[in-house]
Structure 1
Amino acid sequence: MSDWLKMLLLGLLSIVFGVFILGAPVVASIAVTAITGILLLISGGLQLVGGFTVEGTGNKILSILMGAIMLFLGWSFLAHPLQGTISLAMLILILFMAGGIARVILSFQMRGTAYFWPTLISGVLSIVLAGIIWTNAAAEPAWLLNLVGILLGIEMLFNGFGLLFAALFMRSAEENT
């Protein structure tokens, strides 16, 4: 399977998930927080167990400490989903900003093609979404819970369309070479 086709399929999948997330943003926010908590618990447990098998006192201490921190964070996300969602909102802010900047840079590599403007707009809108989270970070947690789900759904759509445009650009570049 060619790279552009893989990117196209990934873009379509991202769009489908974005639509599902927008259908139930609060549920999506809580689900993401719960999944993050579970993954942190699993990672922390494995890190803790692995800490007893590594060589060197410093490595043991660091590994066990990291495992304990991940276990605590996982438990915290599951026990306090609203606070966990606020923490994830800050992480999402960083990811939206990074993804938006990356798409803006990618768009300038596509200058002169039909994909320049859609990719540029996708990147700029991701940066705007990061700004919305930043300006509303101190808002009511329940409102932020809904906002995170909505923004995550919108970002999935933007990401999906960005991947579609990049895939079509890659396909046209392959055909022209």
Structure 2
Amino acid sequence: MSDWLKLLLLGLLSIVFGVIVLAAPVVASVAITVLTGILLLISGGLQAIGGFTVEGALNKVLGIVMGLIMLFLGWSFLAHPLEGTLTLATVVMILFAAGGIARIILSFQMRDTQFFWPMLISGALSLLLAGYILANAGAGLALSLLGILLGIEMLFNGFGLVFASLFMRSASR
């Protein structure tokens, strides 16, 4: 099987899964939270065990404490997946707001360049998106946010792979 065909199939698969995720974003959001909880448990356990092997008392204590915090977060996400989903959605909202504010500040440093308006608009849109998430958190948006973002990313990734495969096919001819 040629490389371009593999990319095409992977892209189409990503598009199909993106549509499935967008059809059930709350289920996908909870699945993301459960997966995050599992990964936090694994990495927290490894971090705590690794804390015993490092040199220096402070490094040892910090390693063990960080591992225990990660274990607690992982357990919390698995024991309470809906609350964990809301927590992760809040983190995403905060990251959107922080990124938007940073881009707005950066845009004013580019005031005399052609990049001022695109950077300002990008920052403002991120800030507006964070505000929209905050305003609609009670309407269930927070529960479906992670699933919606994952579905959109899977669609974009799938279309990107399809276009890359078609480019590879035309370039090989």
**TM score, norm. by length of structure 2:** 0.65
Seen in structure 2, the aligned counterparts of structure 1 residues 78 and 159 have a Cα distance that, compared at 3 Å, is same
Contact 2:38 2:74 in 1 (8 A): yes
Partner of 2:25: 25
Question: What RMSD in Å do the two structures reach over aligned CA positions?
Answer: 3.4
TM-superposition CA deviations, 1:97-145 (whole Å, max 9, x none):
x9xxxxxxxxxxxxxxxxxxxxxxxxxxxx9x96775233322163321
Contact 2:29 2:144 in 1 (8 A): yes
1:144 pairs, out of 132, 142, 145, with 142
Instruction: Report the number of matched residues.
Output: 145
Shift of 1:82: 3.2
Amino acid at match of 2:84: G
Q: How far apart, in 1, do the equivalents of 2:94 and 2:165 lie?
A: 26
SS at match of 2:166: helix
Q: How far apart, in 2, do the equivalents of 1:159 and 1:93 lie?
A: 24
Instruction: For 1:1-177, list aligned pairs within 5 A.
Output: 4-89=4-89, 90-91=91-92, 133-138=129-134, 139-140=137-138, 142-173=140-171, 175=172
Amino acid at match of 2:29: S
SS at match of 1:40: helix
Q: Which runs of 5+ in 1 are unaligned?
A: 99-126
Amino acid at match of 2:27: V
Q: Which runs of 5+ in 2 are unaligned?
A: 100-122
SS at match of 2:8: helix
Amino acid at match of 2:77: F
